[in-house]
């Protein structure tokens, strides 16, 4: 599919400077940009079909992890730094995505990459050097979820492919820590895990593209409460060429190295 058959460019003119500035301002001000109906209807159908066809190749796993995605052995187990949350999902990797896939054409598009670069302020965007990590499709069935966490990366790009009937809410709290200043907000995280905070919810429909700054904004996807799969594409770039996801991360997320 050509790019104008994948993206609704009349609604989302990615090369228009005024449109780019409005997305920049939203991301800088809110930490998130949601572009509804980003995909055309035929592209969404094609990507849904691709995701359904690839599901039998998905690697499913359940992971216990901390909100900070690592632990500190010098602190007690019940400290917010070390408290466990659970993430459970299935994932297919870049090497399962077809060469002529609409997802791959979008990912490789110079117009899309330039748009992401200008909106996020990330000067260079490069694919991962390993064969698994650039494009992923995630699956969440009944009861599966993504636990509370902060991202290590400065931003994430996702496309919602299919929405469950109930549950799988994207919940977040903006600016919940300042990682660069070393302010981890342990007290706030503990209160959030105890249910003392009411997070914001980002409502989206299939075909929406989201740019999200999750390094300092804590977030999760609540459990799927229906029998309809949640399917989500993740488009990942690196700021440097030749970078691979670590072998330990690939084994954890994908169950294989290549």
Q: Where exactly are the structural domains of the chain?
A: 3-254
Q: pLDDT tens digits for 192-233?
A: 999 998 999 999 999 999 999 999 999 999 999 999 999 999
Residue 78 gets which letter from DSSP? T
CB atoms within 10 A of CB 175: 11
Residue 137 makes CB contacts below 8 A (sequence gap 6+) with 50, 51, 54, 58, 91, 92, 96, 97, 103, 161, 231, 232, 233, 234
Are the beta carbons of 105 and 39 closer than 8 angstroms? no
pLDDT of 39 over the 90 cut: yes
What is the pLDDT at residue 140? 98
Q: pLDDT tens digits for 81-114?
A: 999 999 999 999 999 999 999 999 999 999 999 9
Query: 238-249 b/e with 16+ CB inside 10 Å = b?
Result: beeeeeebeeee
What is the pLDDT at residue 95? 96
Sign of the Cα pseudo-torsion (44, 45, 50, 52, in order): positive
Average pLDDT over residues 8-22: 98
Confidence of residue 253 (pLDDT cuts 50, 70, 90): confident
What is the pLDDT at residue 161? 98
Average pLDDT over residues 146-154: 93
Average pLDDT over residues 12-32: 97
Confidence of residue 120 (pLDDT cuts 50, 70, 90): very high
pLDDT of 249 over the 90 cut: no
Share of the chain above pLDDT 70, in %: 100
> 151, 145, 164, 257: which is closest to 205 by C-alpha?
164
Confidence of residue 163 (pLDDT cuts 50, 70, 90): very high
Confidence of residue 75 (pLDDT cuts 50, 70, 90): very high
Average pLDDT over residues 106-127: 96
What is the pLDDT at residue 246? 86
* Helix, coil or strand: residue 48: helix
Average pLDDT over residues 73-84: 96
Q: Chain-wide mean pLDDT for the chain?
A: 96
Are the beta carbons of 150 and 186 closer than 8 angstroms? no
CA dist., res. 5 & res. 41, Å (int): 9
What is the pLDDT at residue 252? 84
Residue 129 makes CB contacts below 8 A (sequence gap 6+) with 241, 242, 243, 244
> 90, 92, 94, 97: which is closest to 140 by C-alpha?
90
Confidence of residue 171 (pLDDT cuts 50, 70, 90): very high
What's the CATH architecture for 3-254?
A: Sandwich (2.60)
């Amino acid at each position: 599919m050509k790019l104008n058959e994948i993206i609704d460019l009349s609604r989302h003119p990615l090369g228009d400077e005024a449109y780019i500035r409005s997305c920049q301002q939203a991301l800088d001000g809110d930490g998130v940009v949601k572009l509804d109906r980003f995909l055309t209807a035929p592209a969404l159908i094609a990507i849904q079909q691709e995701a359904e066809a690839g599901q039998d190749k998905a690697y499913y796993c359940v992971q216990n992890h901390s909100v900070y995605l690592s632990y500190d052995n010098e602190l007690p187990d019940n400290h917010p730094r070390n408290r466990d949350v659970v993430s459970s999902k299935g994932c297919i990797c870049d090497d399962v995505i077809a060469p002529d896939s609409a997802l791959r054409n979008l990912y490789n598009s110079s117009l899309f990459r330039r748009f992401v670069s200008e909106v996020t302020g990330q000067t260079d965007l490069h694919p991962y050097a390993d064969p698994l990590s650039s494009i992923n499709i995630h699956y969440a069935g009944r009861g599966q979820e993504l636990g509370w966490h902060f991202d290590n990366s400065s931003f994430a790009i996702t496309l919602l492919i299919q929405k469950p009937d109930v549950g799988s809410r994207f919940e977040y709290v903006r600016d919940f820590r300042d990682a660069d200043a070393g302010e981890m907000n342990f007290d706030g995280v503990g209160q959030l895990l105890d249910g003392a905070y009411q997070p914001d919810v980002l409502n989206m429909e299939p075909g929406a593209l989201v740019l999200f700054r999750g390094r300092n904004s804590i977030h999760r996807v609540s459990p799927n409460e229906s029998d309809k799969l949640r399917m989500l594409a993740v488009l990942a770039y690196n700021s440097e060429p030749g970078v691979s996801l670590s072998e330990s991360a690939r084994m954890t997320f994908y169950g294989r190295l290549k």
